[in-house]
Amino acid sequence: MPSGRNCRSPAPPLLLAAALLAGCSLSYEEAKVAEGISGETPDTVMVNFQHTVVNEGKVWVKLSAERAESYGKRKEVVLLGVRFQEYDAEGRLVTEARADRAVFNVESEDATASGSILIRAPEEKASLSAGSLSWFKDGKRLEGGGGETVRLEKEDGSFVEGRGFKADFRRRRLEFGSSVRGSYVAEDGK
């Protein structure tokens, strides 16, 4: 006997849900694609990135980039439009550098830089320019990209450039593998 209330059976919503699920197939392709590109998609993106290292109230290092992207799975930080300054204990600028792009491995602390690279040492009155460089923390080595010209230049006009550049900072040794040329300007101007 019907009453004044409107009673519904749970069957119609369950049948609707069952019908919808029957029309679906479980596909893991999207998950596989997302997992595959996870190393290509940054975990974090920062714009106008700035990092300053201060110790005992003194600035030691300033690092800035137009864009910084961190990739946790690859253990890399990619910096675009990079600028770097290093200071001594008296606050004097020791080294300044810039590059279009740099990739830093957070595990090994190795780095590669590319684009228009310029490293300047004001106290040495010298600079280094290159299109590609790699820094290897283990061994404290700096190497030019294969086949790329690296140029070392003093403010007095003396320079040396070539390909196959390698610098070993532990041994205080620089070398070029090929296409080396240069010019030396004597201090007395001769």
CA-to-CA distance for 57 and 63, rounded, in angstroms?
17
When comparing pLDDT for 17 and 70, which is higher?
70
User: How many angstroms separate the Cα of 77 from the Cα of each of 13, 119, 181?
Assistant: 50, 20, 35
**Is 80 exceeded by the pLDDT of residue 14?**
no
Instruction: Kindly list the structural domains of the chain, giving each domain's residue range(s) and its CATH number in brackets, ordered by start.
Output: 32-123 (2.60.450.10), 132-190 (no CATH)
The pLDDT of residue 169: 86
Q: Which of 158, 94, 104, 155 is nearest to 133 (CA)?
A: 104
What is the reported pLDDT for 145? 84
pLDDT in tens, 48-99: 999 999 999 999 999 999 999 999 999 999 999 999 999 999 999 999 999 9
**Distance, CA of 109 to chain centre:** 11
Whose CA is closest to 142, among 116, 160, 167?
167
Strand partners, 134: 112, 143
